[in-house]
Structure 1
């Protein structure tokens, strides 16, 4: 393994694994010794919540760690990591409207999802031409029998960690710069955690009311705030067993610089019209 610097750009919500019980996929940018961006990478598998506290890297941190190409994954961006080697070097802040974050991320921007596929890549960042709408839809309320059996397996040497099943899927329908229409779900841990936090903190009496309150908070974030106030980009990644199926694994959202962007009119999911910017 080789020790390298990595910018942590996003983490996905934990998923259930037959081998590892739970795993998290981390997408980031491989940096050279001077912290110049080199390429997008994927760190997988990693049992993030089982890491020592001093190694649980926050989003937008630069870490140093021993990594190597994952020879069991055909995707060139996929790397394994030595958990015990992780060192958190520093956290990149949002000063000057994400100036430093932009300097590390946007040089590796792709034109579109089609561009990513044509270049044989499996992860990257894109800027949609037009976001047509935010959506959410119901999913299974419980883990399936196989998944639950994995969670129920005891381990004498590790504490049991519950993974809450989120019974909703959030996403965007958008038009890319090459004219293709896409409908991608969002697996960003931050968004799933927003739903969980709002539901668990709700003072409503019934589960249905708590969920509806949480759904509204997520809508306000992803629709009212992000579409109206943020210069929104999507960090996207594909599925190992379905290379042409992509999802939004992270959101990149500095504030809009309104003087440089033309206005357009959209209608949101509740039928209200508001001004937004063409992305």
Structure 2
């Protein structure tokens, strides 16, 4: 393995893996020694919640870690990581309308016109700007992990203090049109959005579970629809699945503020 620097752009909500136990998929940008962006990178699997606290890297942090190309994954962005080697070097802030963050991800070799553009270039990960967003919506999902996934979690709890991973009973989506005029309905698996649902539900003072969930769903709608669609300059970090290469998901939302017309025309 080789020690490299990575800008952490997004993390997906943890899932139960038959092979790797509880895992998180992280997407970021591989940096050179001078912190210049080279390419998108997917580091997987990471048992994030089992890491030492000082290795819990936040979004938009720069980490140093030992990585190597994943020989069992033919996607060029996929790397394995020695998660015990992680060192957090710093974090990129949001000053000047996210100027530094933009300079690290909105580049010709990292940004694509559409999902089809990503596929044509033989990539599996990238950032795109939607031409228009038609709507946000959600769907009901299963409330429990599968029997096999629950068995994995039960096995884990035999050897360590139980920290059961909650299954989110809803899936969140954007229906949007990309710049090649293709229509997409992509699920949003950004950890930030899943955690917003959990935090809002847990903070609710409603006495009935269904009412707490509805209150949390409204908080998510306000974030993804009222705030993001109206006040933010939205981009989607999208990635596919190894088993289903044509199936893409929104694994992260990049949401710098919209620049006001007056700001854009000062000069």
Bin for the TM-score computed over the shorter chain: over 0.9
1:239 corresponds to = 241
Task: Return the alpha-carbon distance in structure 2 between the equivalents of residues 260 and 223 of structure 1.
Answer: 24
- 2:98 match: secondary structure: helix
1:264 corresponds to = none
- Alignment pair present for 1:225 and 2:224: no
- 1:242 match: secondary structure: coil
Q: What are the within-5 Å matches in structure 2 for residues 129-144 of structure 1?
A: 129-144=131-146
Task: Return the alpha-carbon distance in structure 2 between the equivalents of residues 247 and 141 of structure 1.
Answer: 21
Task: Return the alpha-carbon distance in structure 2 between the equivalents of residues 158 and 65 of structure 1.
Answer: 25
Closer, same or farther: CA 215–49 of 1 in aligned 2, 3 Å: same
2:205 corresponds to = 203
- Alignment pair present for 1:110 and 2:112: yes
Structure 2 stretches of 5 or more lacking a match?
Answer: none
TM-score (structure 2 length as normaliser): 0.95
Structure 1 stretches of 5 or more lacking a match?
Answer: 262-279
> Once the 2 structures are TM-superposed, how far is the Cα of residue 159 of structure 1 from its aligned partner?
2.7
1:57 corresponds to = 57
Which digits, 9 at most, give the CA deviation of each residue in 1:35-54, with x for residues without a partner? 01000000001100111111
Closer, same or farther: CA 154–82 of 1 in aligned 2, 3 Å: closer
1:149 aligned residue (148, 151, 174): 151
Task: Return the alpha-carbon distance in structure 2 between the equivalents of residues 125 and 217 of structure 1.
Answer: 25
Q: What RMSD in Å do the two structures reach over aligned CA positions?
A: 1.3
> Once the 2 structures are TM-superposed, how far is the Cα of residue 160 of structure 1 from its aligned partner?
2.4
Task: Return the alpha-carbon distance in structure 2 between the equivalents of residues 142 and 15 of structure 1.
Answer: 12
